[in-house]
Every structure is written in C-alpha cells, then in structure tokens.
Structure 1
Amino acid sequence: MTRTAPTRTPRAAALAASLSAAAVSALAVLTPGSASAGLVDEPVTSSAPGAALSLAPLGTYETGVLDESAAEIVEHWAAGQRLLVVNAAQAKVEVLDASDPAAPTKLFDLQTTGVVSADGSFVPDGAVANSVAVREDGLGVVAVEAPDKTDAGWLVFFDAAGSGGALGAVRVGALPDMVTLTPDGARAVVANEGEPAEDYSVDPEGSVSVVDLPRVVRAATQAAVRTAGFHAFEGAALPAGIRVYGGRADAGTGTPAYPVSENLEPEYVTVDQTSRTAYVTLQEANGVAVVDLRSARVSDVWSLGTVDRSRVPFDASDRDGIAIRTYADVRTFRQPDAIASYRVRGTTYLVTADEGDTRDWDGYSEEIRVGDLGRNGIEPACAAVKAGDGFAGLSRLKITRADGLDPTGTCYETLYGFGGRGISVFTSDGRLVADTGDEIERMTAAAVPGSFNSDHATSSFDNRSDDKGPEPEGVTLGKVAGRTYAFVGLERVGGVVVYDVTEPARPRFVTWTDNRDFSVSGTTDLARAGDLGPEGLAFIAADDSPNGDPLVAVGNEVSGTTTLFDVERLRPHGHRVGE
C-alpha cells in the first residue's frame, strides 16, 4: 500500500514529545539489544543515466540469528521513531529505537504468547508472529500463527508507546500471514493463508479477516471480527485463469466440500486510499481477490495472467551462464507475493512484486523440471514443443505438472514456469498496464556478472536461473519530490530496486543498491556478508523520518538484519541535492 505522511493527532504529538532521548535510553538499559553497524564496505550499486535518486545504507540492527527468518516484516511508528520487526525465528516482534537511523538499537520485544483472546482462547507457546502493523496513534496489531498452522490464529493488540505488554487478542483464520491497516485507521485486514498440513491430511479454507478497530488504543472485541471467504466462487463461478489444483483431492486425502475455498491462499493485502477496498494476492493461484471492507465480502477474483517467454526473455537454466533469451511454448505465472496500491488522477493502480511460488508439500508437489517430462509416469512434451527453438536448453527449468496438458491429456503443449522476475502494474479491475520484462535480470547481470542470479544464503553464479531468478518479493511505495517510487526487494540476489511509477504505463528503472559482499559465502561466513534475503520493506516519508530525509527500512530474513537506507535526491549530474 502507499505509505503517505499522516496528519499528526494530538495524542501522537504528545507521544512524540514524551518519548524523549532519556526515556528511550532508560528502556534500552532495561532491555538491551545487540546492534552494530553491519554495513559492507562497498555496496553494489547500479543506476540509470540521470537517476533522480540513490539509496545509501545508513545503519543496521543485527539479531545474530542467521538463515532462520529472524527479520521479516518491518513497520515504522513515526510518533516514537520506533521500528517494529517480525522475528519469526524466535516467534516475536522486536521493537527498535530508530531515532538515530545510523545506529538502530533494540528496546524490547512485544508480547505475543500467553495472551488471553476475546474468544476465550489464549496464544500458547509455539505460536509464531508473522506480520505487524501500527496505527498513527500507536495502536498496533500482530498476526500470530497457531503452533499447528492449520488451526485458527490470532490478532494480538499492543500500544506502540508502551514497553511490550499486550492489550488483548482476537481469533482470526488459519495461518494469518499478513496484516495491514486501512489508511483511515478504522480496520485491520488479515490475509489468512490457510496452508495445508505437510501430508495434506488437513487443508483449511483461505480467508480474509476484517476487524473493526476501536477509536482509542485498546483491543478489539471478537464481535468486531468478520470473515470474507470464497464459497461464492466454487465450481463454475470461479473466474478463468485462477489456478485451482493440488488440493486434498489431488493428494488423495479427501474430497473437500469447498475445494476452491481450500485451494485459494491469501498472501498479502493492500488497501485503496478510500479505505473501502482491499486487494489480496492469491499467490499460488496466480490471482487477486477484491474485498469490500464495509460488507466484509469478496466481491471479485481475477487472474494476473502469464508472461509469454516467446516474447519476454529470461534465463531458464542454471548451467548455461548468463543466457537471457526467448523460448517458444513457455509461459511463467506472475504469482506475486507483495502488492501495493496508489492513486493517479482518480484511478487506483496496483503494483505487484512477481516472485513466483509453488505447492511443494510431502502430500503433493507440482514441481518438475522440463527434463522430467516423459519419465516416471509424467506425460511428455508434445512433439511441436520438442521441436521448438531452444527446447534442449530448457531441461533444467522448473515447471508445473498441474497445467499445460493438451486437450487429450497425453502431452504438454505449453510449459508453465513460476515468477515474472519483475514488477507489474495493474488497474484495480485486473487490466495489465505495464511490466518490467527482463530489465531486472539484465541489470543485475551487468552489475554483478560473477554473481548473476545468486542465491541468498551462498554467493554463487547462475544457480537460481532455473527457479524464479532474482525473485522480487517485497514492494512498498513512497513519494519523493512529488513523484511516486516503487521500492522492491530482490529475495535471492539481494538489494532494493527502485522504479519510478509516477506514470503507471511507464515504470522506469532508477537505481539498485545491494548491501551485500559477494566475496563472502557459506553458512560460516554469513555474518560478514551484509544483508541477505530482503523480505519486507517500509517507506518512511521525510516528514516522518528521524533525520528529515526519506528512508527505506528493510528486513532481511537470511542475515537477520534490519537496515535503514537514505533515499538521496540527486541533481542531473549525480550530485546530491544540497551539495
């Protein structure tokens, strides 16, 4: 969603004044955290000619927990200059003092377990924090997954001005994976992903919880929780292009009464500026659900379509070096993780980070390689596909076995891979306006040719080309000097890519900065590698920033670091504004 500078309420202004440096220092002494200036000596940068912005790493907080999802979703609370960071590895939300962006330090953890819920349940040990959001007045919410992810989860409430104690909780759907607040602060919207058990013995229905929030800083009641589900889209009512596959029926573990509802798995939410409509990615299904927040009803579902790889080049193999080219009979599902929204001349547009994702469980996996076709009971590629240009070079590409068979079901006439490897811009009714094609792969290939399509946990060459490439995962939007920019995290090769999306039909690459040292590799050296695996991003407008400059905060799940970047405005010849 677009993050704009909010109007300060009297309470927010008072909180900002009361959280003095002395008070923050006292909290830090009570609950110290470890922090260091974990920035690499020479971050990777690549910019377009005449770029209007650059990103400069300012400071990093390090959890010291590596390759365990210790820093994922990041939110900023302006009134207290605090960052709220989901540490999934330790099932908590860490609160950081960001008043000095060059040296963020830990204050305390938010309480998410042992909390009594309004429905009479309580959040037990083993529950996992997945997402966090905070209102301008300090009312915060944490989406918490049950120890058994197929059970219903919780939304835990807290006061961002406090010292970590919970205000209460309400029950929501299974595996609440993401929570956001409407721009007017009236509601929380939760994407309940509803993933299956590993063996597919249970597959809860996906849903979206809409929670009416109190006007003051306190917990909501259970009566304030409404659930938007997908029963209306069962059977023939399902729109074309939405992927429904790999449920309990395919796994051989049952016949669902509502197979579509079990199959659709809400991933990420953005809310339009009117606070009336939410847009929710259905990542594996390659779709978006439109939710009317006043009625708490899914009003529409539409497909995100595919990228035609006969026209849009990509690197399809991890064994051919840098080989970005086109292939006949190959398409890839966009399957975005994060989604953001903004308004241009009265029209709402959506920006998606087209990561790609698969259903790959013990009970059912859709993943195969092109080279597996025709083996071990898998149908072969159709003769025309085998005869196509470049088919031999596709053997390593991961594709789905759930789509692409010809009408007879005897051979694959189209090969469907995963991920758009860029960002896309859509209208709110699902019309594709623009995408960035092969720009990110070509840009990173030129900037770090020896680490092209590297993985995040090890520095490597070309080892992700067969499997979603750089994986754009997170996206946040922000305005700088009157223009709207998309800040995009690349999960695998790393770093933040900036696109100017002021004109929705013409997204323009601006710059890429990667706070990573590619000379460091292997699990024993991860602590010296910089930022690895960017997951969540938060834009901090200049009016809300502790140093008066726009900032971007990034949570990195592999390195367990939270890094703040200065968004520097540049003059036409590359000099920072003010120099």
Structure 2
Amino acid sequence: MRIRLGLTSALALAAAAPAHAEMTFNRIASFATPMNMAEGEDKARTSSAEIISASEDGMTLIYTDSPLGVVGLIDITDPAAPKPLGNIDMGGEPTTAQIVGNMAFVAVNTSESKANPSGKLVTVDLATRKAVAECDLGGQPDSVARAKDGSFLAIAIENERDEDVNDGAIPQMPAGFLVKLPLKDGAVDCAGLQKIDMTGLGVVAPEDPEPEFVSINEAGEIVVTLQENNTIVVVGADGKVAKAIDAGKVALEGIDTKRDGRLHFDGSKEALREPDAVKWIDNDHFIAANEGDYEGGSRSWTVWNKDGTVVWESGASLEQAIARIGHYPDARNSKGVELESVDFAVFDGTPLAFIASERASIVGVYDMTDPKAPKLLQLLPSGISPEGLVSIPSRNLLATANEVDLGEDGLARAHVMIYQRSDAPAAYPTITSEGAEGVLGWGALSALAADPEKPGILYAVSDSVYAAEPAIYTIDATQTPARITAKTVVTRGGDAAQKLDLEGITPDGEGGFWLASEGRTDRLTPHAILHVDAEGAIDKEIALPPELLAGEVRFGFEGIAKSGDTLWMAVQRPWKDDPENTAKLLAYNTAEETWGAVRYPLDPAPEGGWVGLSEITLSGDWVYLIERDNQVGENAGLKAITRVPVSAMVPAALDGEIPVVTKETFRDLIPDLAGFHGFTAEKVEGFAIDSAGTGFVVTDNDGVADSSGETFFWSIGPVK
C-alpha cells in the first residue's frame, strides 16, 4: 500500500524524526532524446523532452516530444544508467502524459489551425507500448493531471492564441475550457466527459480563458491557471467553479532591467504574475510559477491559499540566487529567468517544492515545512530549458525534461536529467558569488590565472557576452564551492572599456594584470594586448604588427601568460599563414617591444568541426595549454590539458621560419566533465596553477546563450 502524506502529516513526521545528515540532490544521469529513436532513423532530427511523468512504481519515465509527435519511454530501474525504451507515435502533437496503473493517458493536439482547434486523449498500454484507445476532447489540450486515487483526469483545453494574429493579443476565439474525465477500471469513460466552462472568470479577456496548467488535490479539487488572463481558478470536487482568483501583481526589487551586456541588479518594476505551472501542496494550499509570458515578466513564484490569499511571495529572490551562480540570461531580461514549472512531494518526511527556470535552466529546491517561509535549499543544474518536472519520493529521485534541441547548430540535444537525494554533499554549484556584496552577477568565464603569492586565489575574465562591461573576477578557491569575491570592471578613461573580447589574463607581479583580447575585425574589435592597474584601468594597449594582421582570421588570442619580460599568447586556430593543423604561440617582449612565435601542432579536426587552443599557462619547466574541439555531448572527443617544455619555447622572428614545438597530453578532461553527469560541455577555457602547485579548470557557459548556463570549476590536484 502506498501512503501519501498531507502537509500537516508530513510536518508531524518531520518533527518526530531523529536528526540525520543533511540530504541533498545531485544529478546522477542524463538521457539525450535521440537515444529513443529506432535504429536507422535520422537521429539528427529535432526532438524534445517537454512534460514528464513517472510510472507508479517509479521505474519508468514518459515524456512528450512534440517535434516528433511521440512520447518517449525511459527505463530507470537503474537511475544512474537510464535505458531507452523507444518512442510511441501519437498521431499528433503530444502535450502531457500521465500514468495510472499500467496505462499512460496522453493528451494530443490534432488542430489544423489555431482558429480550428482539436485534440484527443490517447490511452497507451505500457506493457505492449501500443495505443489502445482514443477519446475526443473537443479542443486543443495542454496540461493533464490525475486524481490521487486514479479515479479521474483533469485536462486543460487551452485553445491557445495565434501569436502572429493581432500581435498575439487575446481574446482569440474559440474559448478554451476544462475537461474532467472519469477513469473506470483503468480505462477512460469518454461518455462521462464533463466540460467545465472557464469563460467569465479571467481578469484580462474573460471570454477567452486559455486554461494552461492543472493540478488535483487529495480532496478531488482542481486548480487551473489562466495565464494570459492572470487568473487562477479552483474547481470543487463536484466539478463546479468554487473560486476565481485575480493573481494580481508582484513588486520586484533588485532586478536587471536592461538587455545591455551588463549585469546590474539595481532595477525595479511591478509586473503581473501570469502564473503557468501550478501544484497543490495540501488540500488548502498550492504553489504557482509566475512565468509572466504574456505581458508580465514577473520572475517569481507564489504560495497561495485556495481562498485566494497570498501566503508567501518569492519576488526576485530566486532570480537573484540564480544570478549568483552565473545562470542569469541577460539576453532575456525583460522576462528574467522565467519560472515555468513546479512540482511538490514529501521526501522522507520533508515537504519539498521544485521550481524550474526555463531561461536559466535551473531548478530551485525549497523546504516547505513552513509554507509561509519556504527555505531555498539548492539550485540544481538542468539541461537547456526545463519544461517539466517529476518527483519520485519513493526512490529519492527527481527528473527534469529539457525541451530545447540545438542539434541543428551543432550544440546540445534535448535531455532528460535524473537526480538522486542522498547524504552526499551538493556537487553544484561549483562556483558562486554568494557572500559578495549585493547581487554580483557573472558568466562566460573565459580564462583563468593564479595569484603569484596566495594559494587558492585566482582571477578570471568575462568574454564578449558582457562586452559592455568587461571585468576581472577574483576567486577564492579555498572554499567549496569556489567563491567569486570581487568584480573589477576594466575601464578606459574612467568608463567601462568598449571593443574588448577578453580571453586571457595573467598577473603582472606588481598588482596589475596583462589581458588578451581575442579580437574580431568584422565587428571592429581589435586583436590586442592590454595592461591594467589594480583598479582595472587600462594604461597600455599593444596592437598586433602588420605582418601578423595580414594573416588574421576571426579566431584570435585565447590566453596569455608571462615569463620575465615575455608575454605568451595562444592563438586559438590556424591563421592564413599557418600550415594545416597548426596554431601560433605568439611572444611579445615588453622590454624590447618585439614579436616572435612558435607553432603548436593541433590534433586533426572532427568532421564538421574544429580543434583549437583555449588557454596558456606557464609553471616550472612547462607551458600548459588547453586544446579542445568545438563539440558537445556524445560528439565531444577532445578536451585536454597539454604541455610543451619551456626549453622549446624559443620564439622565431615572424618573417622567418617558425618552428613547430612538440606537445604531450597532460590530462584528458573528458572524464572530469563526465563526472558532472550532464552532457559534455564544449568550452573548457580556463586553466591555472596556483602558488602551491594546485591546478584549477573552469568552463565558459556562454552567458547562458544557447547553453544550459552550467559553469564547471574544479581542481585537478597537484600539478607535477
């Protein structure tokens, strides 16, 4: 018998339980959606993982994949090694699947147009993996919820608006509604379908409710969000509307309001909540993620009493926490992190809420012991754009469905991510600005250097993602996670320096730094070396000589290191005058103001990709470099630290024959990256060896653009 605890029961159990080690979630596996395609199918096709559910025994996951028109099944008998069970065609666009017993009930959109919506509920026998029944729903379905006892389903018939008509404004007919469908002996009673009218309830366009998301409590009551109408409706167990709640507005303080390549959390606004996903946490309270997708931008989530009163409001607090771990999507800041999905479950007596950010690709985990004061416990990294969540408390598991597939661009595929709750320490974030003054947002860490005297103190720079305010970050790596303790803006003439793409940093030994700007002439950003003082002010700029610029291509400096009077810069990829599969290591003598170079032998590029350098570091008798390909996930084949003897680094004049040095692989970083249990990241871009001889590595998260936003910072231990 399965025992389900209400919130009050859970609190009593939690109070009575003995003290134990702190429990945390850690990602243990990732499953790319192309894995479910059959042998011989074109796995390059776009696929997705959107809304996700679990079987009652917690051994199988089912997710909707609208681009392929299928539901995908995953065997998680061993959750750390998920296995594909294949796709099942739905004859339309599946939106949500729920499992009761051995049957999956899948809502499928079959609309020929937004103006003429239609849909069906398909019953899938999980034993045979075949569709065995269909039920006409009379409109375009979105969310599906199941009653706790498996006696009925609730389906939001959205009949969504056409965003290309009238700038996407509502009303747009026909109106949506709510469906209540009885289940008898594991089968849908189509004849018993109850259509519950939602018109006249919304506060924006009451004639066009557009029901979005539904949830059912143990009393059989249904809560449904009307997102565009900024309204939440509670439907009683008798199928009659009990309460229509105006979701109102939220006052946001300490947010970034400008999409300008800067991360400044000093703005404010008032925004409509516009709730999306909703979930009961007991018979009297529910939580809602306020995506703010229509006219809002509310960035928040709310705990509600079903009488319509706000019990607790997050405001900008979750967004600020997300910014501190480098996941803030500046390119989307009119709507911020867009909290879209929620889930709730009781794990070992602790009631937990899970709040997913679509744009930041993060899941916040909250202790809901006191619904009036939720406590943020963790921020979990997800794939790109988590759309759905499912908790499996009986197995201490959580899974996310991440909808964005960037395979056409050679980037990450859509994924399902699996997390396990245990007493192991939290593995993420690996680096944070928590504890720094205010909200110190950051991202796109593109280089790393060590303080020459202080063990564990490092410096990083941000690249062109934040070109409007290039910065140097001070990192304390003696803490876990590592802490960004300060941000120093690079300035020119007192203002944030422009036309920089910082990709290298090295201390000058006197409190200042030498910086390398990669450059991109087609965007009027010059290749350059810069010197800044301890306050970040540029006091010297060194341009490339004409004989170098004659052979330039887009890919310039990726790293800078200092040895005496000589600065060494790694050029990422071959320029026009380089032999195939070689790249220059450039030397500039600051005393003599002369240039020289050696050539570095690159591994051959993968089909359709390239191999290049991302960092250069000098330590002892060796010059260390990061050599990598531009591939992600299962296609990634080269992410490595290599090294060249210092004795071989004898620069030749640029107008003569440039020698090719011999390299050796010092460390393969792909196993390190695999240890984070996501897909293999593309941009390993920073490596430094501190004054105690410890090596540190960091990845570049591209400022959360076409990326999960994850930054991995780790130590490889003593470097000998």
- TM-score higher than 0.5 here? yes
In the alignment, the residues of structure 2 paired with residue 421 and residue 433 of structure 1 have an alpha-carbon distance, to the nearest angstrom, of 17
Q: Which of 463, 466, 476 is the matching residue for 2:331?
A: 463
User: CA offsets per residue over residues 290-322 of structure 1, 9 Å max, x none?
Assistant: 22243x33333111110124xx33221111622
Report SS of the residue matched to 1:208. strand
User: CA offsets per residue over residues 402-426 of structure 1, 9 Å max, x none?
Assistant: xxxxxxxxxxxxxxxx132122101
The aligned amino acid for 1:289 is V
Summarize the alignment of residues 404-423 of structure 1 with structure 2, pairs less than 5 Å apart: 418-423=296-301
The aligned amino acid for 2:291 is E
In the alignment, the residues of structure 1 paired with residue 266 and residue 369 of structure 2 have an alpha-carbon distance, to the nearest angstrom, of 29
Judging changes above 3 Å, is the alpha-carbon distance between structure 1 residues 307 and 565 closer, same or farther for their aligned structure 2 residues?
Answer: same
Judging changes above 3 Å, is the alpha-carbon distance between structure 1 residues 191 and 67 closer, same or farther for their aligned structure 2 residues?
Answer: farther
The aligned amino acid for 2:331 is N
User: CA offsets per residue over residues 36-89 of structure 1, 9 Å max, x none?
Assistant: xxxxxxxxxxxxxx9944221111111237895610111111337111111111
Q: Which of 386, 392, 395 is the matching residue for 1:534?
A: 386
Equivalent residue for 1:497?
Answer: 364
Equivalent residue for 2:275?
Answer: 336
User: CA offsets per residue over residues 166-205 of structure 1, 9 Å max, x none?
Assistant: 1211111422001111111110100011113443796221
In the alignment, the residues of structure 1 paired with residue 398 and residue 108 of structure 2 have an alpha-carbon distance, to the nearest angstrom, of 25
User: CA offsets per residue over residues 314-355 of structure 1, 9 Å max, x none?
Assistant: 22111162222344xx41111121111122xxx511111111
Summarize the alignment of residues 370-381 of structure 1 with structure 2, pairs less than 5 Å apart: none
Bigger helix fraction: 1
Judging changes above 3 Å, is the alpha-carbon distance between structure 1 residues 202 and 324 closer, same or farther for their aligned structure 2 residues?
Answer: closer
Q: Which of 175, 186, 189 is the matching residue for 1:217?
A: 186
CA RMSD for the aligned pairs? 2.7
Summarize the alignment of residues 144-155 of structure 1 with structure 2, pairs less than 5 Å apart: 144-148=108-112, 149=114, 150-155=116-121
8 Å CA contact retained: 1:152, 1:175 = yes
In the alignment, the residues of structure 1 paired with residue 424 and residue 33 of structure 2 have an alpha-carbon distance, to the nearest angstrom, of 33
Judging changes above 3 Å, is the alpha-carbon distance between structure 1 residues 67 and 158 closer, same or farther for their aligned structure 2 residues?
Answer: closer
Report SS of the residue matched to 1:284. helix
Equivalent residue for 2:596?
Answer: none
Judging changes above 3 Å, is the alpha-carbon distance between structure 1 residues 564 and 535 closer, same or farther for their aligned structure 2 residues?
Answer: same
Q: Of the two, which has the highest radius of gyration?
A: 2
Q: Percent identity?
A: 26
Summarize the alignment of residues 24-43 of structure 1 with structure 2, pairs less than 5 Å apart: none
Q: Which of 448, 453, 457 is the matching residue for 2:328?
A: 453
The aligned amino acid for 2:233 is A
The aligned amino acid for 2:370 is E
Equivalent residue for 2:48?
Answer: 70
Question: Displacement, 1:438?
Answer: 1.8
Equivalent residue for 1:15?
Answer: none
The aligned amino acid for 1:563 is M
Q: Compute the TM-score of the two structures, normalised by the length of structure 2.
A: 0.51
Judging changes above 3 Å, is the alpha-carbon distance between structure 1 residues 102 and 144 closer, same or farther for their aligned structure 2 residues?
Answer: same
Higher relative contact order (CA 8 A, sep 6+): 1
Question: Displacement, 1:494?
Answer: 0.8
Equivalent residue for 1:361?
Answer: none
Summarize the alignment of residues 131-530 of structure 1 with structure 2, pairs less than 5 Å apart: 131-135=96-100, 137-148=101-112, 149=114, 150-160=116-126, 162-197=127-162, 198-199=164-165, 203-214=173-184, 216-218=185-187, 220-231=188-199, 233=200, 238=201, 242-244=203-205, 260-261=206-207, 263-275=208-220, 277-294=221-238, 296-309=239-252, 312-319=253-260, 321-327=262-268, 330-343=269-282, 348-358=284-294, 400=295, 418-448=296-326, 452-454=327-329, 462-465=330-333, 467-515=334-382
Judging changes above 3 Å, is the alpha-carbon distance between structure 1 residues 152 and 109 closer, same or farther for their aligned structure 2 residues?
Answer: same
Q: Which of 420, 442, 453 is the matching residue for 1:566?
A: 420
8 Å CA contact retained: 2:251, 2:315 = no
Report SS of the residue matched to 1:440. helix
8 Å CA contact retained: 1:453, 1:469 = yes
Equivalent residue for 1:366?
Answer: none
Report SS of the residue matched to 1:79. coil
8 Å CA contact retained: 1:419, 1:471 = yes
In the alignment, the residues of structure 1 paired with residue 147 and residue 233 of structure 2 have an alpha-carbon distance, to the nearest angstrom, of 16
8 Å CA contact retained: 2:98, 2:146 = yes
Report SS of the residue matched to 1:445. helix
Question: Displacement, 1:481?
Answer: 2.9
User: CA offsets per residue over residues 516-571 of structure 1, 9 Å max, x none?
Assistant: xxxxxxxxxxxxxxx111110000013xx2xxxx1101000014111110122469
2:85 is aligned with 1:110: no
Question: Displacement, 1:222?
Answer: 2.6
Bigger strand fraction: 2
In the alignment, the residues of structure 1 paired with residue 281 and residue 319 of structure 2 have an alpha-carbon distance, to the nearest angstrom, of 26
Q: Compute the TM-score of the two structures, normalised by the length of structure 1.
A: 0.63
Report SS of the residue matched to 2:324. helix
In the alignment, the residues of structure 1 paired with residue 47 and residue 297 of structure 2 have an alpha-carbon distance, to the nearest angstrom, of 22
Report SS of the residue matched to 2:254. coil
In the alignment, the residues of structure 2 paired with residue 69 and residue 326 of structure 1 have an alpha-carbon distance, to the nearest angstrom, of 38
* Number of equivalenced pairs: 391
8 Å CA contact retained: 1:190, 1:208 = yes
Judging changes above 3 Å, is the alpha-carbon distance between structure 1 residues 206 and 532 closer, same or farther for their aligned structure 2 residues?
Answer: same
